[in-house]
Amino acid sequence: MNRSPARGVDVVKHVGIAAVAVAIVVIVSPGIGTQPISVIEAWRHWPDDSSAVHHIAFDLRLPRAVTALVAGATLALAGGVFQTLFRNPLATPYTLGIASAGSLGALIGLKMGLAGTLLGLPQYSWCALLTSAMVVGLIFLLAGTTYRLSGNALVLAGVTIGLFCGAMMMFVTYVSDVRETFAIVRWMMGSLEKYGYGEITGIIGPLIVSWTVLIACAGRLNQFEMGDELAASRGVNLFRLHLATIGFASLATACIVSVCGPIGFVGLIVPHAARLVIGRDHRVLLPAVALWGAVFLVVCDWFSVLAPVWAGRWTGMESTAAPLPIGVVTALVGAPLFLVLLGRSRRVE
């Protein structure tokens, strides 16, 4: 497998197009919602922070879109790294049980009635971060040795811990009352409903560091994909590569889960689709995957907001329903799309 230096034309073509797509969804997002506000009208009210249009477009819709951009980019990037690292096309950001651990922590926080904020994040989000960090440490402890980490051992440890956390979540739900159960179930479906940028600001620092480290490992991931022996012969320290990529991908995933809840399929579908179109050079693939993951989740969020409105128009009834949970929409869109991509990849092979 030849890994020639990434050509500038490839970077401009694939990453540039994805960046333009991100810019388009950012511009359009203030005009997407249940209230009929055009994109032009929304941006015309940008300087007037006292108007109702500004409040709807830039205090409600744009923060929601930014949250979707950050979450989609993170989950897609982590998914692409894990699929390469574990040599498993079904690997996702949640393979190591991070989502289950974060969900368990958040559920415990909700059960305890932690409704305040700390450093811009809800207290239950800190519970999610804490349990996710504990699980990452436990996975390294169980699956690693001083000198070597086994990918299969990591996956098995993650699956086991995920099953345990799932059982504990069912127990917490079982002992909760109706109000607590509703809050728990709603959180587990994923949510992008944000007012302002406080929660994203609270996690953006660790996310930027994680994005930088993962993309910086792209060249070594190219070598790793050729095989352990060849990568080692070319100077790749496999232990450090596993430690850096798994550690920072898990950290980024934990941050997103703590704020948005578990959102599936983004880290599975986007890397698959990108590999079919872009190829397997991670120096181009990883930045493009992050950008297209951001676009994918924003578009899914548009659908979650507009679907109840469309349903009301089709039935002739005015819809007052809340937006669909984003985790439900990504599953509805992602499952059939993944089957299509799977069939196409088989034909390519």
Is residue 295 one of the residues assigned to a domain? yes
pLDDT value for 334 = 85
pLDDT value for 143 = 57
The DSSP bridge partners found for residue 118 are 121
CATH code where residue 89 lies: 1.10.3470.10
pLDDT value for 124 = 77
Is residue 1 one of the residues assigned to a domain? no
pLDDT value for 321 = 65
What are the contacts of 56-63 at 24+ separation with CB within 8 A? 57/30, 57/31, 58/30, 59/195, 59/196, 60/33, 60/195, 61/29, 61/30, 61/31, 61/32, 61/33, 62/26, 62/29, 62/30, 63/194, 63/195, 63/196, 63/197, 63/200
CA distance 126 to 154: 25
Between helix 16-28 and helix 282-315 the angle, nearest 10°, is 30
Contacts of 45 (CB under 8 A, 6+ apart): 51, 53, 54, 57
Cβ neighbours around 150 below 10 Å, total = 13
Q: What share of the chain is helix, strand, coil (3-state, %, to 5)?
A: 75, 0, 25
Residue range(s) defining the domain that contains residue 143: 8-348
pLDDT value for 200 = 84
pLDDT tens string, the chain, 349 residues long: the values are 444 445 555 667 889 999 999 999 999 999 988 887 889 998 998 888 888 888 888 888 999 999 999 999 999 999 999 999 888 888 888 888 888 888 888 888 878 776 666 666 777 778 888 888 888 788 777 655 544 556 677 777 788 888 898 899 888 888 888 887 887 788 888 888 765 677 788 889 989 999 999 999 999 999 998 887 888 888 888 888 888 898 899 889 988 988 888 898 999 999 989 988 888 889 999 999 999 999 999 999 999 988 877 776 776 666 556 788 898 899 998 888 888 877 766 555 5
The DSSP bridge partners found for residue 122 are 117
CA distance 246 to 280: 19
CB 90 within 8 Å of CB 272: no
Is residue 2 one of the residues assigned to a domain? no
CA distance 283 to 280: 9
Give the Å distances, CA to CA, from 20 to 46, 83, 273, 300. 22, 26, 18, 18
Is residue 341 one of the residues assigned to a domain? yes
Cβ neighbours around 5 below 10 Å, total = 9
Domain tally, the chain: 1
Between helix 62-85 and helix 218-225 the angle, nearest 10°, is 40
pLDDT value for 99 = 82
pLDDT value for 101 = 87
| Token representation of residue 179 | 């109000």
pLDDT value for 226 = 84
CB 72 within 8 Å of CB 21: no
pTM given for the model = 0.88
CB 79 within 8 Å of CB 253: no
Is residue 71 one of the residues assigned to a domain? yes
SS3 118: strand
Is residue 3 one of the residues assigned to a domain? no
